[in-house]
């Protein structure tokens, strides 16, 4: 008898009869992947698969259990006080203001500002012939407040490097530090008010280049009656600026210092900074940069800073400082379980509102676009380093992932190949990565002080040529 012709209630009874009357038909037989309705049973009967599920009883189905997660997602931000950290402050005053009422034309896209302002601070005393001035170029995150002074007694980002007897000895030198063009600490930038619209420039601000940063600071220096700098000093973005200053205006720079920097942006650094910008620009609150009348794009800026923190330090430091240390009392979750996670989170929260989001976008893009030789495309000699003839100090850090040490080696060697006979190169094996220039007073400070105060490089160079004559 064909099982297809049986009524459903009689199917099991009929099959039992075929196989011996008292046979119990296991559900597993019907559920087996090897059993199909077209296959014949031992006695020639067939079973249709559409009845299989109907044959199962609630008792036959396995009982399922689930134990999942019920996270509160606290992700609390706690400050880690162990280990050195850069001292960046959100500056709202205590600086001098240079106001230029003349229009300024930018290097890119024909951008034009009707006027601009530069926030700057000074330390030490300018001598009578105005020959002891050092121009200190800042990195991306820094304000003009490199060190405490009478109008702002808070510690600066290079506090231990500037002062009497320090690397930049204010008993000998007049130190000038300017907030970069495009910044947000007193200098004209995206958060500044456009005098023509009486609203913030936001992302209508012109694209900024390293060349623009250098050019406007040259205008400021000249306004102080300084015709030639004793030295142009900078690290990171500031190092790009100091090299550019010496190349664009070689007659104005007596010494050059470039720390943890290069003559062009590295593709790895470009990729890191691109991700930071995307974090901000993907935040809906960013509103294409026009957020000044509403909520601040905190989430995107916080994530951007977390990525930046990873590029500023080194795995060697974090292995020693954090390792795989777990946060006490925290069960495994999608939130913080390791101290390193909590540290990264804290860095993002701490710095997210210190630096304006649009300033980060503009200055980081200026760094990515930087290639010194590009500024000399219209010249017969397109190698910018050929114009740098002054004594130069280049310093690199072996653990720097943002400006790989090979870039500093290339910079020093490029200057030597260009005919500069007074190039000093130091390579530090510091655990602090890119931030070494902010933290390593012993090595950075000693090398910088020695280079600035010794006459060996200059006199040695001059003596060599006198002997040759």
C-alpha to C-alpha distance for 46 and 51, rounded to whole angstroms: 12
State residue 32's pLDDT score: 44
Catalytic, out of 141, 143, 209, 236: 236
Look at residue 294 and give its three-state secondary structure.
Answer: coil
State the average pLDDT over residues 84-105: 84
Would you state the structure tokens that stand for residue 309, as one six-digit string? 């923190």
Catalytic annotation present for 82: no
What are 351-398's pLDDT values in tens digits? 998 999 999 999 999 999 999 999 998 888 889 999 999 999 999 999
Q: Rounded CA gap, 139 and 261, in Å? A: 10
In 29-115, the DSSP E strands lie at 96-100, 104-105, 112-113
The pLDDT of residue 464 is above 70? no
Does the annotation count 400 as an active-site position? yes
| Per-residue pLDDT at 33 exceeds 80 | no
Query: Whose structure tokens read 């902010």?
Result: 438
Contacts of the segment 215-219: beta carbons below 8 A, 24+ positions apart: 215/248, 216/100, 216/104, 216/116, 216/118, 216/181, 217/118, 217/135, 217/137, 217/178, 217/241, 217/245, 218/245, 218/249, 218/252, 219/100
Per the listing, tokens 């890191």 go with 272
pLDDT tens for residues 67-77?
766 656 566 44
Q: What angle do CA 327, 333, 335 make, to 5 degrees?
A: 70
pTM confidence score: 0.81
Instruction: Determine which one of 356, 368, 400, 435 is catalytic.
Output: 400
Please give the biggest Cα pair distance in the chain.
123
Token look-up 């100090």 returns 393
299 pLDDT higher than 80 = yes
238-266 per-position pLDDT tens digit: 999 999 999 999 999 999 999 999 999 99
Q: What's the sign of the alpha-carbon dihedral 77, 274, 414, 233?
A: negative
Return mean pLDDT, the chain: 86
Annotated catalytic residue: which of 314, 434, 435, 440? 434
- pLDDT for res 68: 67
Tokens found for residue 264: 């062009």
Residue 4: CB atoms within 10 Å: 12
């Amino acid at each position: 008898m064909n099982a297809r012709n049986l009524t459903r209630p009689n199917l099991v009874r009929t099959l039992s009869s075929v196989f011996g009357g008292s046979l119990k038909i296991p559900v597993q037989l019907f559920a087996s992947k090897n059993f199909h309705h077209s296959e014949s049973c031992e006695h020639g009967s067939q079973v249709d698969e559409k009845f299989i599920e109907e044959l199962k009883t609630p008792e036959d189905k396995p009982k399922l259990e689930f134990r999942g997660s019920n996270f509160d997602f606290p992700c609390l931000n706690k400050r880690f006080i162990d280990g050195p950290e850069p001292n960046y402050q959100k500056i709202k005053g205590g600086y001098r203001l240079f106001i230029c009422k003349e229009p300024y034309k930018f290097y890119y896209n024909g951008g034009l500002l009707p006027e601009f302002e530069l926030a700057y601070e000074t330390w030490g005393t300018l001598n009578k012939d105005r020959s002891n001035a050092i121009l200190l170029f800042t990195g991306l995150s820094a304000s003009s407040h490199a060190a405490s002074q009478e109008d702002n007694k808070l510690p600066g980002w290079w506090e231990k490097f500037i002062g009497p007897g320090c690397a930049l000895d204010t008993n000998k030198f007049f130190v000038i530090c300017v907030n970069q063009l495009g910044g947000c600490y007193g200098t004209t930038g995206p958060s500044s008010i456009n005098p023509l619209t009486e609203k913030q420039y936001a992302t209508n601000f012109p694209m900024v280049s390293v060349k623009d940063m250098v050019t406007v600071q040259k205008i400021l220096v000249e306004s102080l009656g300084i015709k030639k700098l004793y030295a142009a000093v900078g690290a990171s973005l500031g190092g790009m600026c100091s090299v550019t200053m010496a190349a664009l205006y070689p007659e104005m720079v007596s010494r050059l210092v470039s720390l943890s920097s290069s003559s062009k942006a590295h593709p790895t650094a470009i990729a890191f900074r691109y991700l930071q910008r995307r974090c901000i620009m993907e935040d809906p609150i960013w509103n294409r940069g026009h957020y000044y009348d509403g909520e601040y794009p905190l989430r995107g800026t916080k994530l951007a800073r977390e990525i930046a923190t990873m590029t500023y330090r080194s795995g060697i430091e974090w292995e020693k400082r954090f390792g795989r240390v777990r946060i006490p009392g925290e069960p495994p979750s999608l939130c913080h379980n390791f101290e390193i996670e909590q540290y990264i989170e804290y860095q993002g929260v701490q710095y997210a509102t210190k630096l304006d989001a649009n300033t980060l976008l503009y200055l980081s893009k200026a760094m990515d676009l930087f290639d010194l030789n590009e500024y000399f495309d219209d010249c017969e000699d397109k190698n910018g380093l050929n114009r740098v003839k002054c004594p130069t100090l280049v310093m690199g850090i072996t653990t720097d992932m943002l400006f790989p040490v090979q870039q500093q080696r290339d910079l020093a060697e490029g200057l030597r190949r260009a005919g500069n006979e007074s190039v000093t190169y130091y390579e530090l094996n510091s655990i602090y990565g890119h931030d070494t220039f902010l933290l390593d007073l012993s090595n950075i400070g000693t090398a910088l002080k020695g280079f600035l105060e010794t006459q060996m490089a200059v006199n040695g160079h001059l003596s060599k040529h006198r002997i040759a004559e």
